[in-house]
Every structure is written in C-alpha cells, then in structure tokens.
C-alpha cells in the first residue's frame, strides 16, 4: 500500500497526464523536447511537519516542483505561456487531488531562456507546488 506522500505525488502527476505536453516524474531532461513542451515532476521535500496529538497527526506542507520546458521556435513564448496557464487551470479544477490532499497551491513560475547550440533555445521554468496533507506518521 503506497504512503500518503506517494499517493499525493502520483495523483499530482496523473492530473497532468491528459495535457498535450508529456509529464515525467524525476527523469533527466531528454535530448529532444516534444513540440507541445515537457513537464517533469520533481518529488521535492516534505519538510518538517506540524504535529498534533490525540489523535497523533503529522501535517505536511510538501514542496514539489514542476520543471516546464518548451522549445517551439518562433512561437516559444506563447506556447510556454499557454502550457503554464493550462497547468494552473488543471490544478485549480481539483485543489484536493480527489480528497488525497487538503490543498494544492502552485507558486508563480521562475522562467529562464536556455540557449542550445545549433537548435532553438529552450524556455523553461520551475513551478513550486505546495501540497498540504496529513499523515498518521512520518513514514505513513
């Protein structure tokens, strides 16, 4: 049986699977970026939980990250913006990931342009997603 942390992260990745841009998890950036872009979910860190007693519960604000990459030539900025907006819309549609999470809160993207020798530059961003969830133990 998967832990709460793993269930939340798997649900987060599953929410993005219907998008045109493929969503990978903890993978290395591939040599070729699909035309629609690419999203890589990084598991991140659960951080120190707040603990309540009676009943014992651990309340996490887990910080996962999406690496979003687009390499679409002249329309790169628009494609990038569209992909970021679509991710936001998908996350806003179900802020509890089907009840697995208390709340999902994406932060504003920090974007950069990455030059690639002999190819169109990449437009990339890291989007931190704060996952608020509760477990019965630090390993649960």
First vs last C-alpha separation in the chain: 10
User: Per CATH, which fold does 4-135 belong to?
Assistant: STM4215-like (3.30.2000)
Domain boundaries, the chain: 4-135
List, for residues 20-30, the tens digit of each pLDDT value. Answer: 999 999 999 89
List, for residues 63-85, the tens digit of each pLDDT value. Answer: 999 999 998 677 888 999 999 99
List, for residues 12-22, the tens digit of each pLDDT value. Answer: 999 999 999 99
Contact between residue 129 and residue 12 where contact means Cβ atoms under 8 Å apart: yes
């Amino acid at each position: 049986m998967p832990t709460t942390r793993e269930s939340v992260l798997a649900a987060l990745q599953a929410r993005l699977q219907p998008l045109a841009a493929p969503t990978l998890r903890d993978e290395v950036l591939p040599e070729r970026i699909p035309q629609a872009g690419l999203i890589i979910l990084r598991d991140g860190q659960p951080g120190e939980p707040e603990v309540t007693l009676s009943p014992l519960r651990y309340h996490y604000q887990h910080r996962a990250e999406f690496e979003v990459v687009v390499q679409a030539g002249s329309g790169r900025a628009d494609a990038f913006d569209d992909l970021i907006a679509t991710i936001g819309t998908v996350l806003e549609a179900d802020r509890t990931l089907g009840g697995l999470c208390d709340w999902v809160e994406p932060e504003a993207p920090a974007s950069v342009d990455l030059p690639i020798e002999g190819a169109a530059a990449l437009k990339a961003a890291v989007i931190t997603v704060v996952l608020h969830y509760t477990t019965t133990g630090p390993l649960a």
